[in-house]
Structure 1
Amino acid sequence: MTSAIDTAALKPQHVGPVAATIGVVFKDERVLLVRRRNEPDAGYWGFPGGKIDRGETIMAAATREIFEETSVTADAVKTFTAVDVLDKDEGGVLRHHFVLIAVLCHWVVGEPVAGDDALEARWWDLDALDDAGLVMSFGVMDVVREGYALLHARQ
């Protein structure tokens, strides 16, 4: 007697890379950050963002994710860097590989209210961010600095 073998179960799990956006929004001398609700990096501070939907542009994904996670409306201006996120389990096995595409955005309207994938959403003063003692996702401060420099180079 033979039994059917589930060949799909024998294939390696897809681990990426998965394209996603992060929206880097400045208002005055403050930057918009969210505290993540979900893994990877649950509880860490980072930029609002998420996966790019099929058929969606990078810019549209950035503004959609900003609104879903913070209720802030922003205009996407320019992509400016990318960050690899390699999420591994305790044994060092890769679970997910995300490529986060940073999008510089101009604030249009709204004050942050946590929604969707965020535990908290708020503006952080740039001059106090280093000393705030926040647990941040990898590369956040580098992206803040690069985005801020780009913003002021464009003005």
Structure 2
Amino acid sequence: MNRPLVGVIAVVCHRDRVVLVQRGKQPSAGMWGFPGGHLELGETALQAAVRELHEETGVAALPLEYLTNVDVILRNDDGEIAHQYLLVAVLCEYQKGTPTPADDAEQAIWMPVNDLDSCGLPLLDRVADVACMAQARLRDRSPSPSAANT
């Protein structure tokens, strides 16, 4: 590989849980993270996130906003860079569906955000941080109960 690749991850929180998939292919086979993949020519990161989410889990969501970026640099046993990605994390609003593994996913689940640090699953870097960031952003976007009654 001679240059970094751009990918997307779909961050879907619903009822204090987040959709996670267990990767079925390299790189990072067996690891748990957000559904995602490569951008296709002509699509935005927002479009790619919901497409990848649906392809990998069957869950439908609306893209809300760009959440953050995640740098992924994977090295081989000799310390040389084997893969490098810039992942664009997209905050998505859950619409419907039950996570069911498909495409590149071995497993797909709803995981309580508060359990990410203690769940025992081999998580990819920054999964817990990004999930907490998404949950906080969704709280900020929601009108407060008192505002809804005015």
- Partner residue of 1:132? 119
TM-score (ref. length: structure 2): 0.91
Residue 56 of structure 1 and its aligned partner are, at CA, apart by 0.8
- Partner residue of 2:110? 123
Q: Deviations over 1:87-123 (max 9, x none)?
A: 1111011121100000000110100100001000010
Identity between Structure 1 and Structure 2 (%): 41
The one of 14, 32, 43 aligned to 2:30: 43
**Larger-Rg structure:** 1
- Partner residue of 2:39? 52
Secondary structure of the equivalent of 2:106?
Answer: strand
Residue 41 of structure 1 and its aligned partner are, at CA, apart by 1.2
Question: What is the root-mean-square deviation in Å for CA atoms of aligned residues?
Answer: 0.9
The one of 26, 39, 44 aligned to 2:13: 26
Once the two structures are superposed, the pairs formed by residues 54-133 of structure 1 within 5 Å of their partners are 54-133=41-120
Structure 2 Cα separation of the partners of residues 141 and 151 of structure 1: 15
Structure 1 Cα separation of the partners of residues 80 and 28 of structure 2: 16
- Partner residue of 1:154? 141
Gaps of 5+ in 1: 1-12
Aligned length: 142
